[in-house]
Structures are given as structure tokens and as C-alpha cells.
Amino acid sequence: METHSADVAIIGAGGAGLRAAIALAQSAPSLRIALISKVYPMRSHTCAAEGGAAGVIKPDDSLEHHFNDTVGGGDWLSDQDAVDYFIREAPTELLQLEHWGCPWSREADGSVAVRPFGGMKKQRTWFAADKSGFHILHTLFQTSLQFPSIQRFDEFYATDLLVEDGRCVGLTAIEMRSGQMRWFDARAVIIAGGGAGRMFPFTTNGAIKTGDGMALAYRAGVPLKDMEFVQYHPTGLPSTGTLLTEACRGEGGVLLNKNGRRFLQDYGMGPETPLGKPVLKTMELGPRDRVSQAFWHEQRKGNAIATRWGDAMLLDMRHLGEKTINERLPLVRDMSISYMGVDPVTDPVPVRPVVHYMMGGIHTDINAATSLPGLYAAGECACVSINGANRLGSNSLTELLVFGRRAAVSALEYLQQGGRPAGGAALAEAAQARVRELVQRTGGTESVAGLRKEMMQAMEEHAGIYRSGEGLAAACAKLGELRQRYRRIELHDKTNVYNTDLLQALELGSMLDCAEAVVQSAAARKESRGAHQRLDFPGRDDRQFLRHSLAAYAGEGPPRVSYRDVVITRSPPGVRDYSGGHE
């Protein structure tokens, strides 16, 4: 098997992976960095983030505000020491990106502009029109091209982490273009593999977001933390699930039910604010979990509008005017016209909540280190946790940068401690044999597309905005069954070159692992908090559940769920208040 030796191997070349790679390259030019990604870096899903990145920069804002917004937004499930680190580093990282040439939108005086975002008390979201993630990704990717020590392995799918003597010593990956397995002999590994929204049928997530990074760590013995917290973004296009950024509402767009009522005022986010004059942290600028949940209730009341693609609400931006929409929300306009046939300048756009982001992920500490020595994780695949039970919009792009860099620093410190066990060859051979068996298997009775469909159905039905014990039990049973049946899949395509049938089979394996962690953790959490809402346990229960769930891989059986205390430093659990009138 062809072998590549590296000091640090990074899995995933989106925002977090690129940020880590650049930090490593800058710290020591002699380091050999292997940047491994199943897609070319510019295809990574960071590019689809629209609204912006949060960081305190303006004089009327303060770190304390950002801290309180984040912790309260996360329904007190965030680790407060991690949030403190995050908000302190945020402005530095966003400025660093500016110094690398990111085309941030600007004020007339040439300073960076900020915009309002949901759940934020102050305007602190840096943005580049409504393609902020795209510009961050391309700025990082292009910046990375100046460092010869970053060796890229584009379109390599990582299949296994290699763990020897309790340390992570590398990984194996398939080179898509040849179908050959490669062994990456690495002294440290950083996973930056992104989220897993594709386990749901209706998601803003691109095809590549199949939880591969999470599953790699999970199978290597690192637990997945807080997986039951799945964020629904309130405003996706009903036809395709395409995201219409929260900035639509930040700029003044409003949500209407079929009677034309701004219904959020009926769900603890009122009183109504004047049209076109958005007030921070209330009404349409409430947090995503609350807004999505409000839609669910409206739907039950029969107040949703019917579209060909199911129930929806209306996002009305007409009062913003053509100039503002073109300047600040050009992509939103383009996509509404393309995929819905509705021009937001002249008509309200039908939208509905759509799976968007995983608050949970690979359990890491505040230093982006996992419980497995030599393994680090950052970005959506990781759970530090700063996002708690509900992420605030525009915190995740910043998180990529802050913890991407942090993972690099931690990996470097680990390397400086010296020694590592030799070997990994036997493990790599075993990994290769496993994939070979999957490709060559005959007599299988299950298909990738079939299992995927059943998984999506179970997740949609039972792990959505509102959940019940009964439904989750059914989902647990279903996913256990799918785990068994997955062993009997057979590929149609048994060739080597760019075999996407194989790729999808491996991705399905990752998604099934993540999905089972989601439903098992959700079934065990008998309370409602943030994005995890139980019809049978409608209240928050701090006594029992002010704790992170940890789902640990158990091979043949379902994951074992255990708990770990939340770090509370200075903000005791309180009431999440989004009624602007109380402030």
C-alpha cells in the first residue's frame, strides 16, 4: 500500500481544516502537513454559509454581551469556559481573515460592517453580502496555496483512523480517482469533517455532509457529544431545502402565517416590532430553535400556507426594496427566483424549517483535543461545546476559525512532547481488507439507496423539531435494524476508478452511526431544551439534564449513552427571554 508520512494529517479541507493547516504551516515551515479531503477544498460546505460570522468589534458591543447571547441561546448547555475562549478569540480570527484579504462588506469609513442576527443583543455579524461562508472558504483556500508544506490530497475519502497503544497514529484513505487505498502515517490527526445533515431528507446541507468525520472518531472510541441537538433553520425553500439566510430577517424581513399575521408574537417573542425596523433579539430576530418551533405550532393550528411541497410560512422582504435586496441579499433573490419562481422584491417567499446544523459532534475539550491522544477535532464535526442546545446564527463560521486554529496549536504541542509508537501497518492492511471485502461482496441483499431512504424516513418522522418517547423508541429500533442490514449491502459497481457507488456506501455507514447516536441520545434525554423538544417532557430539567450526553460506540450494539457535567463559570441557568418588551 502506498504510504504518506506526515507530522499532522488533517481530514477535511473546509473552513476548519484549512484554518488548521495554515496555522500549522505558519508555526513551523518544516512540518509536513497532509490535508486530506473527499472533495476539492473549494467544494467544502463552508461555501454555502450565507449570513456571516460573529465577533465583537464595534464600540457599543462587549464580550460580555456575546457571552450571554451565546450561553442563553444555547439554553445553558454550552461550556462557559469554552464560550469565554471562543468570544475572546473571535475578533482576532476575523481580523486575521481580513488581513488575508477576505472581502468583508464595509461601512462608508472603510471599517468592516456588521449586521444583526438572531438571538444576538448587538449587531456583531461580520458579513460579505450573503456569501460570507463562500468568501471565507475561498480566502482560506487561496491563502493556503502559498504554503508549500501543506500537501493536499484532494478527493481522498478517509476510511479509518489507526489507533495503536491508545494513540492515534494515522489513517487510511481511498484515492477516488484510482480507487487505491493509501496509508497516512501521521504523528497527529485533526478531524474537520463537517456535519451530518444528510441523514435527514430535507436539509440545507450539501451531498457531502454525511458525518464521516464524526463516524471516524466514534468508531475509534471517541464519544459523540450532545448529538440529540439538531438545528432546524426556520427559512429554507420548501422545494429544495435551499437556505435563505437569517440575514433576510436581520435586514428586516418578517415571517407571516396564512392570515398575514407575524405569528412569532404569539410564541413569547413579541410584542410585534415595527415593519422594516428589526429589533435585536426579539420577533424575527429570535433564536432558530424558537422560530422553528413556532412554525410547528402554527402548522398544527392550520395557519400554514399550503404549497406543492407541503406546509410553509411566508418570508416577506418586499418592504426592504430592490436596492437593499440586491446589495445585501443578492444570492437570496437569485435562489428564490431560480428554485421557487418567486422574486422577493415583489412577493413574499414561502419557507419552512429545514435541518441545518449539528450542535453535537466529536467530544473535545476546550483545546480541541479528543479523549484519544493524538486526535483533535474542530468545526461542525466537533462539539467543544460552545453551541449548547441551540447554536446562534453566525457563531459557527467563527467557530471554524477559532477552533481550527486551536486544534493546530494543540496538535503542535502534542508533537513537541515527542515520542510516538511506531507501526500502524497491520491496522492499515486490515482497513484495506475491510473496504475490499465491501467492494467485492456478492450475495448481498440490501442496497445503499434503499437503506438510506429508510434511515431518512425514520429521522424525519421521529427526530424532527418535536419528538416523543414512543417515536424515538421506534427510531432506535429502526436504526438498530439498519445497522444490521448495512452489513448485507452489495455494491452494483465493483470497479476502481471514481466509484461513487462505493463512496455512497461508505457515507451511508457514517450517517447510520451518527443517526443512531442522535436517536439514542434523544431518547435518553427526557426533557426539552433548545433544539431538543420532547412532547412527553415539555420542560427543561436542570436537575437531571444540565449535562452533556456522550454516545460511545459499542460495536455490535447501540451506543452507550452517559453524561458529563456542563461547565458553568458565571452564568447560572436562567430563563431565555426573547420578548423585546422586557428589556
Closer residue to another protein in complex, CB, 466/498? 498
Which of 103, 260, 421, 581: binder of another protein (CB under 8 A)? 103
Closer residue to another protein in complex, CB, 178/569? 178
Within 13 Å of residue 581, how many CA atoms lie on the same side as its CB? 8
Which of 114, 208, 359, 368: binder of another protein (CB under 8 A)? 208
Place of cell 427566483: 337
Q: How far is the CB of 384 from another protein (least distance, A)?
A: 25
Residue 282 DSSP symbol: S
If one counts every other C-beta atom within 10 angstroms of the C-beta of residue 353, the result is 25
Q: What is the spatial distance between Cα 556 and Cα 146, in angstroms, rounded to a whole number?
A: 46
Closer residue to another protein in complex, CB, 56/372? 56
What number of H helices and E strands is found in the chain?
15, 22
Closest CA to 488 of 437, 536, 554: 437
Q: Distance of alpha carbon 45 from its chain centroid, rounded?
A: 10
Cα-Cα-Cα-Cα torsion 176, 181, 182, 183, nearest 10 degrees, comes to 140
Q: Which stretch binds another protein (CB under 8 A): 161-169, 396-404, 446-454, 512-520?
A: 446-454
Instruction: Tell whether residue 48 is a contact of another protein (CB under 8 A).
Output: yes
Q: Is 363 a catalytic site residue? A: no
Site residues for another protein, 347-406, by CB under 8 A, read none
Instruction: Tell whether residue 98 is a contact of another protein (CB under 8 A).
Output: yes
68, 578 contact by CB (below 8 A): no
From residue 224 to residue 263, the character string flagging contacts with another protein as x (rule: CB under 8 A) and all else as - is ---------------xx-xx--------------------
Closer residue to another protein in complex, CB, 49/191? 49
If one counts every other C-beta atom within 10 angstroms of the C-beta of residue 53, the result is 30
Q: Which stretch binds another protein (CB under 8 A): 214-222, 248-256, 401-409, 487-495?
A: 487-495
Closer residue to another protein in complex, CB, 321/557? 321
376, 368 contact by CB (below 8 A): yes
User: How big is the chain by its Cα radius of gyration, in Å?
Assistant: 23
Site residues for another protein, 414-443, by CB under 8 A, read none
Instruction: Tell whether residue 3 is a contact of another protein (CB under 8 A).
Output: no
Which of 493, 567, 571, 579: binder of another protein (CB under 8 A)? 493
Q: What is the spatial distance between Cα 275 and Cα 262, in angstroms, rounded to a whole number?
A: 10
Instruction: Tell whether residue 277 is a contact of another protein (CB under 8 A).
Output: no
Closer residue to another protein in complex, CB, 209/462? 209
Closer residue to another protein in complex, CB, 239/324? 239
Strands (E), 266-348: 305-307, 310-316
Q: Which of 45, 233, 467, 532 is catalytic?
A: 233
Q: How far is the CB of 547 from another protein (least distance, A)?
A: 35
Site residues for another protein, 304-343, by CB under 8 A, read 331, 334-335, 338-339, 341
Which of 122, 135, 420, 529: binder of another protein (CB under 8 A)? 135
Q: What is the spatial distance between Cα 530 and Cα 293, in angstroms, rounded to a whole number?
A: 10
Closer residue to another protein in complex, CB, 340/386? 340
Q: Which helix (H) or strand (E) holds 382?
A: strand 382-383
Q: Is 249 a catalytic site residue? A: yes
Instruction: Tell whether residue 466 is a contact of another protein (CB under 8 A).
Output: no
Instruction: Tell whether residue 447 is a contact of another protein (CB under 8 A).
Output: yes
> What contacts 154, CB < 8 A, 6 or more positions away?
13, 37, 39, 40, 41
Instruction: Tell whether residue 575 is a contact of another protein (CB under 8 A).
Output: no
Site residues for another protein, 12-41, by CB under 8 A, read 39-40
Q: How far is the CB of 217 from another protein (least distance, A)?
A: 22
Q: Which of 4, 249, 406, 548 is catalytic?
A: 249
Place of cell 440529540: 228
> What contacts 145, CB < 8 A, 6 or more positions away?
none
Which of 60, 108, 539, 555: binder of another protein (CB under 8 A)? 108
> What contacts 77, CB < 8 A, 6 or more positions away?
226, 229, 385, 388, 389, 529, 530, 546, 548, 566
Instruction: Tell whether residue 446 is a contact of another protein (CB under 8 A).
Output: no
> What contacts 439, CB < 8 A, 6 or more positions away?
491, 494, 499, 502
Instruction: Tell whether residue 486 is a contact of another protein (CB under 8 A).
Output: no
Which of 142, 324, 326, 371: binder of another protein (CB under 8 A)? 142
Q: What is the spatial distance between Cα 292 and Cα 44, in angstroms, rounded to a whole number?
A: 26
Instruction: Tell whether residue 123 is a contact of another protein (CB under 8 A).
Output: no
Q: What is the spatial distance between Cα 101 and Cα 112, in angstroms, rounded to a whole number?
A: 12
Residue 346 DSSP symbol: T
Q: Kind of pairing, strands 547-552 and 224-225?
A: antiparallel
What are the distances in angstroms from CA 388 to CA 267, 469, 483, 547?
22, 22, 28, 10
From residue 149 to residue 178, the character string flagging contacts with another protein as x (rule: CB under 8 A) and all else as - is -----x----------------------xx
Q: How far is the CB of 488 from another protein (least distance, A)?
A: 16
Site residues for another protein, 63-92, by CB under 8 A, read 92
Closer residue to another protein in complex, CB, 447/579? 447
Q: What is the spatial distance between Cα 475 and Cα 463, in angstroms, rounded to a whole number?
A: 8
Q: How far is the CB of 420 from another protein (least distance, A)?
A: 31
Closer residue to another protein in complex, CB, 54/550? 54
Q: Which residues bind another protein (CB under 8 A)?
A: 39-40, 42-45, 47-48, 92, 95, 98-101, 103-112, 131, 134-135, 138, 142-143, 145-146, 154, 177-180, 206-208, 239-240, 242-243, 331, 334-335, 338-339, 341, 447-449, 491-493, 495-501, 504
Active site residues: 233, 249
